[in-house]
Amino acid sequence: MARLERLPQLNEGKPEGGYRAFVFDLDGTLYNQTKLRLIMACRLGLYYLIRPHRIKELLWIKTFRKVRDNWEDHAAKEENAGAVSPDDAQYAYVAKHHHTNPEAVEKTIRRWIYENPLSALSKCTDTRLSEYIASLRENGVPVLIFSDYPIEDKLQALGITADGMYAPGDERAIELKPSPMGLQLIMKEHGLTPSQVLMVGDREVKDGEAARRADVDYVIL
């Protein structure tokens, strides 16, 4: 396992290093996250400026993001161990923390984390990376997405096609990063060894750590 300094070049359609599959993180990797956050900050500001009675929902969003980013070590993981998915456990934690109900939290999170940003993603696409992904697939190198958030709608918004998607919340019950479970499942389902896989992400503590635990080479963009 090694951290590469850059994406492998393609020589006659084949990537350096002999990798047989590329696994990409999504958020912050396949698009410009800073630009998206600026767009969403404007949308949130305008929405709650004329709805001050609902401004507490901004605190729900902030707490949800914080808890999800630190879920592996968070006490809420044990408190809500019986929940059917990480999402449900996190909605329950946020609701308890802010003295509200999980259904209201879920509605707010789905609106502002999962749904509303989709219309802005096309403005934030990393075009060079999307072209790199297209070149990989054109030359028979599978491209797989391993994310902590729902994938399919975001890929459609970005105009990117992948050969497989792996995220928490589906029937495979994949754990959040930095758990290596998603990478291990990818290798098992595609008949790959760690040396044949490259993980590409934007966060050392999430994507890099997941790759290290799975003994997979990785690049942090």
Instruction: Report domain extents, the chain.
Output: 3-31+125-220, 34-119
pLDDT, residue 13, reads 75
Residue that is written with structure tokens 């758990």 in the block: 179
- The residue type of 75 is A
- Residue range 193-207: mean pLDDT, rounded: 96
Q: What is the mean pLDDT of residues 108-115?
A: 96
Tokens 């329950």 label which residue?
A: 92
- pLDDT value of residue 35: 96
For the stretch 126-172, pLDDT in tens is 999 999 999 999 999 999 999 998 899 999 999 999 999 999 876 77
177 and 209 Cβ atoms separated by less than 8 Å: yes
Asked whether the beta carbons of 158 and 130 are under 8 A apart, the reply is: yes
| The pLDDT of residue 79 | 56
Cα-trace Rg, the chain: 18
**According to the model, what pLDDT value does residue 172 have?**
72
In the predicted structure, residue 75 carries a pLDDT above the cut 90: no
Give residue-wise pLDDT tens across range 18-69.
999 999 999 999 999 999 999 999 999 999 999 999 999 999 999 999 998 8
Output the CA–CA distances (angstroms, integers) from residue 152 to 4, 23, 102, 118, 145, in the order listed. 28, 15, 24, 11, 10
Strand ranges in 58-196 using DSSP code E only, listed in sequence order: 143-146, 164-166
CATH class of 3-31+125-220: alpha beta
pLDDT in tens, 89-102: 899 999 999 999 99
111 contact partners, CB below 8 Å, separation of at least 6 = none
